[in-house]
Amino acid sequence: MDSVTTPSDLPHRSLLQSPLVSAALLALLGTAFWFVLESIAAPLGGASNTAHIDGVFVMLLFLQVGYYIAIVPRLRRNGRRCLDEITPLLSLDPEQLLAHQARFSSHRLPRLAWTLPLGALITFVMQEAQFSRFSLWISNPDLALGELWTVLAAWLTWGLGLSAASLVIADANAMRKLGKNYIDVDLLRIDKLAAFSRYGLHLAGATVGLMTLWAISLVLISTFVGIQWGDSTLIVGMLMVAGYICLSVGVFIFPQVGVREHIHSKKDRLSEELTLLLPSANSAGSLAGHNPERVAAILSTRSQIQAIPEWPAGQHTRLRLAVYLLVPLLSWSAAALVEEFVSHLLS
């Protein structure tokens, strides 16, 4: 007998499929394995001198790795759903449509053949510049298994992060081109184009999710591990939050740019056509020979066309974006309250 999914099963399944939960699980597994490697390396003289800090970075790095892996299927499903909504409005030949459908059907991270080597190069440069890890290993080789795992986590984070970024850029650009070149815009039914704004909202939500992971992790880790972040770290953190907010707004707007240009050009063209139907106002005689009701109807229609919004995002979508941007701040504040509560209990 086939299994039946009951409504009570859906929240549990949705929770388990959440990118945030997947990221947290991988972070726990990655940190646990790092702890095992440190335990093996310690008797052999290869333990890290800053084990507690390395453990924190391993957790943060694997949080990102898990998030990058888990967010791709969700983004692609949402992209396919939005593509299905606008398909009736597209003027694509069957091969072009199949190509776009195939794009959003793949759940794999793209371009790993160049993002992973580039991630390795970035990791080498940053690890050497900040910690001189590779120089120290060459001058005094030891079995620093935990540190090797930390470097591997950094490499995966950069490589998979670049891959995820290329996916977001490529898919958002594909939506932009569809809206600019292949969509049939009906100015009286702009609501049918809302799929472009919803897709941008999904991209913004994915960016905000990653920022939220960082915000909560940094605050809680400082509480339970005892690491004190300096003023420079706080400044860098605030700059990262500002950068993530700008990135979230950017990925929300970019998929809509093409259809916005299309709407704008169509409004200009129709307004110009209506203007040509109006009589010349050079003399009273030229106006007297025309039906004033017809002139008023043309003027009213032109005003209505010019008042049509050029962005497909409605007020509800913009409100959801604003709420998304508040999530990291609220989560950071909530984590800070937990930190104060725990510190009060321990004292």
Q: What is the pLDDT along the chain (347 residues), one digit of tens a residue?
A: 444 444 444 444 444 467 878 888 888 899 899 888 888 877 776 666 666 677 778 888 898 899 999 999 999 999 999 999 999 988 888 888 898 888 898 888 999 999 999 999 998 888 777 666 667 676 666 667 878 888 889 899 999 999 999 999 999 999 999 998 898 888 878 888 889 999 999 999 888 888 877 777 766 666 655 556 555 656 766 777 778 888 888 999 999 999 999 899 989 999 888 888 877 665 555 555 567 788 888 888 888 888 888 888 777 788 888 877 777 666 666 555 555 555 555 55
**Which two tokens mark 120?**
């390795």
Per-residue model confidence (pLDDT) at position 13: 46
Per-residue model confidence (pLDDT) at position 167: 92
Q: What is the pTM of this model?
A: 0.79
Per-residue model confidence (pLDDT) at position 42: 75
Per-residue model confidence (pLDDT) at position 117: 95
Alpha-carbon span 123 to 151, nearest angstrom: 7
User: Which phi-psi region, left, alpha or beta, contains residue 142 (left: φ > 0; alpha: ψ -120 to 50)?
Assistant: beta
Alpha-carbon span 288 to 271, nearest angstrom: 23
Per-residue model confidence (pLDDT) at position 136: 67
Alpha-carbon span 21 to 269, nearest angstrom: 50
Asked whether 158 and 122 are in contact (CB, 8 A), the reply is yes
Per-residue model confidence (pLDDT) at position 138: 66
Domain range list for the chain: 10-184, 193-347
How many angstroms separate the Cα of 44 from the Cα of each of 41, 53, 131, 149, 181?
5, 20, 22, 16, 64
